Amino acid sequence: AMSVIGDRRSREQKAKQEREKELAKVTIKKEDLELIMTEMEISRAAAERSLREHMGNVVEALITLTN
């Protein structure tokens, strides 16, 4: 039973690392990042994460952050 839990945990960790690598490849504009930071009053990290998750699309990122 412990090995099943360990295997699942390692698969989840690997999937998470792959997702982070994909997000890191997304290019974002400095102006978009600053816009989200000032308008939404959130940290640079949160703004950058949101932009990367929406493939650099500032409109989609803002919509998600306002919902």
Residue 7 neighbours by CB under 8 Å, 6+ apart:
none
Give the whole-angstrom CA distance, residue 20 versus residue 14: 10
pLDDT of residue 11: 93
- The token duo for 36 is 């989200």
Give the whole-angstrom CA distance, residue 28 versus residue 32: 7
Domain that residue 25 falls in: 1-64
pTM of the model: 0.74
Total count of domains within the chain: 1
- The token duo for 53 is 């998750």
Please write the tens of the pLDDT for every residue from 5-58: 889 999 999 999 999 999 889 889 999 999 999 999 999 999 999 999 999 999
Q: Is pLDDT above 80 for 1?
A: no
Give the whole-angstrom CA distance, residue 43 versus residue 15: 26
